[in-house]
């Protein structure tokens, strides 16, 4: 696939015209600065030593084309795409800005810039501005395309700017009324406006669409919970949990990037496919081969290896993999969270299976340090608050653990595990009303096969031996 990707070439006649023009301007008296290479930005010069040879050669060729044609938006954009899809974000951003300066009529350049900002979790307002520029260019020059409209609509939904979302979706519906992403975003908009039945009706149309199935079933579970229909909510939640991750939404411009994925990135794509199919042993073998070939310059290989080793219940090996990943990305909160989880599980094994409290505490203490570091980097990481609560309980610091779980539920109010653990802890703290409410919520949000919360509630009721008037369970879901 990679061999078919060729840099754009400026034809010989056009190059002769440019050279002649430059000569004439020079003879005209000092105007050579108009076409001086000194005033023209140079393409980023990245180190190619540790890159896959196929990718390194492609970048070298594309960069040479830019040097020969420094005012070609297509040449800069081609190089940007190579950088972008192969994990070289900084150089990609430089090239995309230059491509847009030279070719403002092409919606791809601001569109890819917006996606890059989202990937880097940088300024949301900058992403919005880039999508708006892409939309203006798209409406003028490629009016049949709606990818920028839908991406911006999704972003504005998160910002609560529903009126702007409605305008964007109207354009998208006029151009392609059957686009599944348009239908899904329209359902979210109705849910935001409390038209829950209307939202459910739209979502039902997408149950068999591969790019929407899991997220649709998850949203249906939340909407039925908001309607007070806990039985239907549990059914849809169980379906959602049983499904593999959704395929990406159809996207005209991101589809164009696929041929630019070369070498190592192609192998990561295959690893993702194996992981989605739960073929973890094959994914581990492939990642270990990549490591043996020194394809580890950004830690992604070690992080992916750790994830797949966890799925194989190979905790100590996963811990080593995450530690190595952090050497390359010491500010990665997600990896610190995963490391905390692996260390916590090893502590539990030492405590409950091997009956070794000293070794258990050793793992718990190291898990605590990892969870706290994850939250120092990203304080809003709900999963890290959840594992922090579990670690604190294991260390007999119950009041602190309760606070951590309460914080976790502010970002994930539908977390069955958080409600379950919080219910048990509050019962031990002598707060039966609050405990029972959380145990009821744990039952509502859990899969049918998970009976832990139901057993805990039965034990709780037998312990107190009488009916109690308690607050109604929290039936709010994430919108």
Long-range contact pairs involving 300-303 (C-beta distance under 8 Å, separation at least 24): 300/87, 300/268, 300/325, 302/328, 303/329, 303/332, 303/335, 303/338
Provide the percentage of residues in the chain whose pLDDT is more than 90: 54
Asked whether residue 367 carries a pLDDT value surpassing 80, the answer given is: yes
pLDDT band at 12 (very low <50, low <70, confident <90, very high): very low
User: Nearest 5°: CA angle at 192, between 186 and 195?
Assistant: 75
pLDDT band at 460 (very low <50, low <70, confident <90, very high): confident
pLDDT at 6: 65
Among 164-173, 429-438, 454-463, name the most confident range: 164-173
More confident residue, 297 or 35: 297
pLDDT at 291: 86
Q: Give domain limits for the chain.
A: 1-103, 137-257, 258-410, 413-479
Looking at residues 114-118, what average pLDDT do you find?
Answer: 91
**What CATH fold (topology level) applies to the domain 137-257?**
1.25.40
Looking at residues 118-130, what average pLDDT do you find?
Answer: 84
Looking at residues 20-37, what average pLDDT do you find?
Answer: 38
Looking at residues 220-239, what average pLDDT do you find?
Answer: 90
CA 242 to chain centre: 20
1-103 and 137-257 have identical folds: yes
Asked whether residue 374 carries a pLDDT value surpassing 70, the answer given is: yes
Average per-residue pLDDT for the chain: 85
pLDDT at 472: 43
pLDDT at 450: 75
Q: Tokens 């042993």 label which residue?
A: 281
Closest CA to 317 of 297, 327, 334, 302: 302
The 3 state secondary structure assigned to the chain is CHHHCCCCCCCHHHHHHHHHHHHHHHHCCCHHHHHCCCCCCCCCCCCCCCCCHHHHHHHHHHHHHHHHCCCCHHHHHHHHHHHHHCCCHHHHHHHHHHHHHHCCCCCHHHHHHHHHHHHCCCCHHHHHHHHHHHHHHHHHHCCCCCHHHHHHHHHHHHCCCHHHHHHHHHHHHHHCCCCHHHHHHHHHHHHHCCCHHHHHHHHHCCCCCCCCHHHHHHHHHHHHHHCCCHHHHHHHHHHHHHCCCCCCCCCHHHHCCHHHCCCHHHHHHHHHHHHHCCCHHHHHHHHHHHHHCCCCCCCHHHHHHHHHHHHCCCHHHHHHHHHHHHHHCCCCHHHHHHHHHHHHHHHHHHHHHCCCHHHHHHHHHHHHHHHHHHHHHCCCCHHHHHHHHHHHHHCCCHHHHHHHHHHHHHHCCCCHHHHHHHHHHHHHCCCHHHHHHHHHHHHHHCCCCCCHHHHHHHHHHHHHCCCCCCCCCCCCCCC
Distance, CA of 225 to CA of 222 (rounded, Å): 5
Distance, CA of 48 to CA of 400 (rounded, Å): 49
Looking at residues 55-75, what average pLDDT do you find?
Answer: 93
Among 23-27, 119-123, 409-413, 418-422, name the most confident range: 418-422
CB 113 within 8 A of CB 100: yes
* Least confident interval from 32-46, 136-150, 362-376, 426-440: 32-46
Task: For the chain, report the end-to-end CA distance as a whole number of angstroms.
Answer: 41
Looking at residues 415-420, what average pLDDT do you find?
Answer: 90
pLDDT band at 119 (very low <50, low <70, confident <90, very high): confident
pLDDT at 208: 82
CATH architecture of 258-410: Alpha Horseshoe (1.25)
pLDDT band at 469 (very low <50, low <70, confident <90, very high): very low
Token pair belonging to 360? 């258990």
Distance, CA of 144 to CA of 138 (rounded, Å): 8
Looking at residues 53-80, what average pLDDT do you find?
Answer: 93
Non-local CB neighbours of 124 within 8 Å, separated by 6+ positions: 117, 155, 159
CB 184 within 8 A of CB 248: no
Alpha-carbon radius of gyration of the chain: 27
Note the pLDDT tens digit of each residue in 267-325.
Answer: 888 898 888 878 888 889 889 888 887 655 568 899 999 999 999 989 999 999 999 99
Q: Tell me how crowded residue 119 is: count the other CB atoms within 10 A of its CB.
A: 13
Non-local CB neighbours of 424 within 8 Å, separated by 6+ positions: 435, 439, 456
Given the candidates 1.10.287, 1.10.1060, 1.10.10, 1.25.40, the CATH classification of the domain at 1-103 is: 1.25.40
Asked whether residue 183 carries a pLDDT value surpassing 60, the answer given is: yes
pLDDT at 39: 62
Distance, CA of 109 to CA of 93 (rounded, Å): 10
Looking at residues 226-253, what average pLDDT do you find?
Answer: 86
Looking at residues 386-400, what average pLDDT do you find?
Answer: 95
Among 207-216, 240-249, 295-304, 443-452, name the most confident range: 207-216
Asked whether residue 21 carries a pLDDT value surpassing 60, the answer given is: no
pLDDT at 298: 66
pLDDT at 192: 92
């Amino acid at each position: 696939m990679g061999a078919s990707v060729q840099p754009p070439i400026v034809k010989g006649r056009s190059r002769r015209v440019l050279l002649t023009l430059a000569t004439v301007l020079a003879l005209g008296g000092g105007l050579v600065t108009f076409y001086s290479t000194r005033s023209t930005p140079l393409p980023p010069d990245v180190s190619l030593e540790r890159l896959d040879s196929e990718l390194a050669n492609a970048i070298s060729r594309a960069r040479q084309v830019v040097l020969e044609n420094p005012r070609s938006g297509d040449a800069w954009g081609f190089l940007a795409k190579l950088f972008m899809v192969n994990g070289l974000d900084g150089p990609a951003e430089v090239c995309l800005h230059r491509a847009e300066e030279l070719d403002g009529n092409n919606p791809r350049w601001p569109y890819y810039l917006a996606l890059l900002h989202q990937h880097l979790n940088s300024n949301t307002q900058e992403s919005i501005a880039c999508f708006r520029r892409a939309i203006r260019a798209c409406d003028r020059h490629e009016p049949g395309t709606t990818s920028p409209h839908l991406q911006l609509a999704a972003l504005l939904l998160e910002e609560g700017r529903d009126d702007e979302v409605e305008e964007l979706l109207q354009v998208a519906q006029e151009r392609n009324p059957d686009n599944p992403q348009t239908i899904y975003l329209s359902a979210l908009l109705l849910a935001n406006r409390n038209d829950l039945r209307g939202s459910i009706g739209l979502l039902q149309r997408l149950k068999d669409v591969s790019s929407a199935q899991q997220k649709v079933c998850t949203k249906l579970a939340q909407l039925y919970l908001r309607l007070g229909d806990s039985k239907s909510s549990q059914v849809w939640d169980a379906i959602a949990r049983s499904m593999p991750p959704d395929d990406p939404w159809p996207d005209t411009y991101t589809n164009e990037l696929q041929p630019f994925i070369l070498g190592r990135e192609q192998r990561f794509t295959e690893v993702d496919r194996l992981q989605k199919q739960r073929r973890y042993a094959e994914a581990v073998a492939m990642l270990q081969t990549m490591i043996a070939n020194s394809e580890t310059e950004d830690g992604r290989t070690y992080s992916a290896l750790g994830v797949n080793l966890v799925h194989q219940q190979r905790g100590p090996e996963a811990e080593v993999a995450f530690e190595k990943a952090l050497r390359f990305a010491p500010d990665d909160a997600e990896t610190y969270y995963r490391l905390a989880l692996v260390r916590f599980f090893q502590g539990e094994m030492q405590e409950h299976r091997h009956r070794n409290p000293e070794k258990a505490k050793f793992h718990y203490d190291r898990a605590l340090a990892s969870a706290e570091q994850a939250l120092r980097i990203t304080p809003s990481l709900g999963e890290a608050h959840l594992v922090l609560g579990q670690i604190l309980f294991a260390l007999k610091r119950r009041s602190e653990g309760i606070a951590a779980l309460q914080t976790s539920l502010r970002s994930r109010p539908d977390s069955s595990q958080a409600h379950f653990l919080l219910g048990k802890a509050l019962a031990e703290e002598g707060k039966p009303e609050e405990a029972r409410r959380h145990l009821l919520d744990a039952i509502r949000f859990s899969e049918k096969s998970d009976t832990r919360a139901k057993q805990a509630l039965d034990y709780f009721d037998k312990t107190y031996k009488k009916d109690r008037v308690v607050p109604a369970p929290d039936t709010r879901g994430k919108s």
